[in-house]
Amino acid sequence: MTPAKSIVDGQTLISSGGTFELGFISPSDSNNRYLGIHYTGTPDKTVVWVANRISPLNGSTGVLNLTGDGNLVLLNSTGYIIWSTGTTNAINPVAQLLNTGNLILIERTTKKLLWQSFDHPGNTLLPGMKLGWDITTNLDRHLTSWKSSSDPSPGDYSYKMHVNAVPELVLWRGSLQIYRTGPWNGGGFNGIPETKTTNMFMFNLTYNESEATYTFQVLDNSTLCRVLLNETGVVQRLVKSQPNLTWDPYWWFPKDPCDEYANCGANGVCNTTYSLFCDCLWGFSPKSPQNWKMRINSDGCVRRTALNCSSDGFFPLQQVKLPDTSNATVHSNKNLEDCEEWCLKNCTCSAYAIIEGSGCVTWTGDLVDIRLFTEGGENLYVRLSSSELGQIRDNHGKKRPVIVTIISSLVGLLLFVCFIQLLRKKNRKAKKQAQTISSHYKESRGNELELPLFDIHTIRTATNNFSDDNKLGEGGFGAVYKGQLEDGEKIAVKRLSKDSVQGIHEFTNEVLLIAKLQHRNLVRLFGCCIEGEERLLVYEYLQNTSLDYFIFDRKRRAFLNWQKRLNIILGIARGLLYLHQDSRLKIIHRDLKASNILLDEDLNPKISDFGTARIFKVDQIEENTKRVVGTYGYMSPEYAMDGIFSVKSDVFSFGVLVLEILSGKKNRMIKQAEAHVNLLGHAWRLWTKGRCLEILDEAVGCTYPESKVSQCIQVALLCVQEGSEDRPTMAEVVLMLGTESAQLPQPQRPGFYTATPLMERDWSSSNKITVTIEGR
């Protein structure tokens, strides 16, 4: 575009490769018009930059001109300049839209850059675009959210480069810091393990006397990518491989409560595998124990024992997001030993770490915004008194409150011996079962686990020979008995009955899966017993049995006030998130229901019964089966009807479970004047009429926060939407439930809206499916 030409509404400027287009737009059918850059050839015309964000045009009379001295100006119908580049004194200027999405203004002869849109980002970061500071010109390139999908004017959120000891990116809501990426570690940001250079992306941070900027490049030319700061304050990396496909989130944040800045206060540590998320660093205790009991952690933690500079030492905390670097200092010429020595000699030094590309980093004062990862992260060495370090040595590997030991192995030598014993049995049935278990073992023995084996005599003694007085209940697997070992440990023994609808496959599956899992909201497996015809699983004993024992009983559900019900919902969500995302395996439970949620003495929930669970590959989205197993009322439509299951199948079951917890009613027919609908349909109708709080169980009483109850109902309805693609992931569910101010989308009609029995479906199609459904 030269000074001799103009662009009016209806005309566009297209990049040489045809990827981007500059023209007049109306986002989300807004009545206002804006000059913007968007992708070409995409159904949604995704906008990546807007010139006149704060000065919209009221009609289609806008004109873009380039003056002879090099000022690019946008005029309204009266000829008034509502936006310009503010550049002058140029010779022979020309405006050009590059195929990177960058609108540039240059001098044609000298190629001198006069202005570029990449220096003035909106809510989108494109490949090659710099985010951060030009120190020489004091130019701060940062993202700012839109107010809404139809209003591109600056919203509440901004995403900026923050330079202390080490550069990192920070997400702000107004003047409040709500998230930080952690410091740059040479290949990515420490707090986002996903930001590592791969065969798809390359990340770079430049930090010198003239600039502190972050950029990324897409190495696969067939893939489009952008980073978006949306109007709700979520930063998303979005990708698409074909023009007609939708944008898929590659990663996003904040994605869980541990991403919230300083969620656990000073000297606290956050981990999604903790049932309460927060704990104190070793050697520290809650500053306000009463607040911590109420899950108010912002007070943080204080030292139990005062430091003594001459005798202190350091406790290594592994795989962490390093603390806020506002009170940190870089010593680039020091290695790990030098760093420790320097920190030890300086009494104000509270911790140190080695960061690739920066070297030795030391902290003074409180340590803020630490979280633990199961993979990735850095090592942080925290200063402690000699007495605290002595206690650590005395404990010899006892459970530490800030170290999460993820069981990363499967079945070890003792279990293998057990299988060999089975092979020696003369009974052909026993031989066949042993061979089945052995094959599972051989397929899975890449990692080894020392799983305790119990002999049948021990179990019979513990359960009083499986007496009826010790019987806790019975399910599809068989009976469950209460027991007590000789050392006083209480146990629950699951005994596979001879007539069980489940078989050796389910038994083996449960052993292999639970042995690899460790989370506060998953039931703990102590061991197993396989002797003769007996197949037994030995679990931790939970005195309050299962969730259905409480919520579906008129008297007992009165014990579940609003806060207890919310805690149960949050605990189940965290356990399910661990299965889907945070454990070393991606696991689909497939039978999440009230009777499979056990409650400990404090009514904390633990997910149980993994007999029908399936392991997915990391990049696997869904699977099809001809053997549908599960419980009617909890199964998603695509699973019950077509045998297709995925993480979204579990999300549907979770949504049903939430509505049952809130209402105290099972998901079966609820008689109404106009029709027979199930709990999902009943909740949906109340929601559409603005009366959703009527679903809440009367046993809750009158004291509850209406906004939070409404939020939980909305989340549940989002989870049970008919289309699996419309349902949120468990990471999104945890974020929605944990954020008071979250702006949630409106749910669509749920699946299985009416109470048509599943058994009435015609299963005689060509895709024959075996249905194993447990009666309710």
Assess contact for 336 and 394: CB atoms under 8 A.
Answer: no
Tokens of 634: 């909890």
Assess contact for 85 and 71: CB atoms under 8 A.
Answer: yes
Assess contact for 476 and 500: CB atoms under 8 A.
Answer: yes
Tokens of 478: 């068989």
Assess contact for 94 and 108: CB atoms under 8 A.
Answer: yes
Residues 6+ apart with CB under 8 A from 465: none
- Among 700, 703, 662, smallest CA distance to 679 is for 662
Would you give the end-to-end CA distance of the chain in angstroms?
70
The 3-state secondary structure of 687-702 reads HHCCCHHHHCCHHHCC
The one-letter code for the residue type at 754 is T
φ, ψ (nearest 5 deg) of residue 652: -60, -50
Cα–Cα distance, 594 to 654 (Å, whole number): 10
Cα–Cα distance, 455 to 695 (Å, whole number): 49
Assess contact for 64 and 71: CB atoms under 8 A.
Answer: no
The 3-state secondary structure of 308-323 reads CCCCCEEEEEEEEECC
The one-letter code for the residue type at 693 is L
Cα–Cα distance, 100 to 217 (Å, whole number): 11
Assess contact for 139 and 160: CB atoms under 8 A.
Answer: no
φ, ψ (nearest 5 deg) of residue 500: -60, 140
The one-letter code for the residue type at 64 is L
Cα–Cα distance, 397 to 382 (Å, whole number): 18
Residues 6+ apart with CB under 8 A from 476: 500, 501, 502, 774
Assess contact for 504 and 441: CB atoms under 8 A.
Answer: no
Angle between helices 706-719 and 679-688 (to 10 degrees): 120
Cα–Cα distance, 662 to 693 (Å, whole number): 10
The verdict on whether 499 is a catalytic residue reads no
Catalytic residue among 591, 609, 650, 697: 591
Per DSSP, the residues of 378-411 read EEEEEEE-HHHHHHHHHHTTPPPTT---------
Assess contact for 648 and 727: CB atoms under 8 A.
Answer: yes
Cα–Cα distance, 124 to 706 (Å, whole number): 36
- Among 490, 588, 467, 501, smallest CA distance to 545 is for 490
Residues 6+ apart with CB under 8 A from 359: 330, 331, 332, 333, 334, 335, 339
Number of helical H runs and strand E runs in the chain: 14, 48
Cα–Cα distance, 21 to 47 (Å, whole number): 9
Q: What is the maximum alpha-carbon separation in the chain?
A: 98
Q: In what order do the strands lie in the sheet with 113-116?
A: 93-97, 103-107, 113-116
Cα–Cα distance, 244 to 405 (Å, whole number): 44
- Among 513, 502, 729, smallest CA distance to 629 is for 502
Assess contact for 328 and 165: CB atoms under 8 A.
Answer: yes
- Which value, in Å, is the radius of gyration of the alpha carbons in the chain? 30
Q: Which alpha helices (DSSP H) does 530-561 contain, by range?
A: 548-551
Cα–Cα distance, 655 to 646 (Å, whole number): 15
Active-site annotation, residues: 591
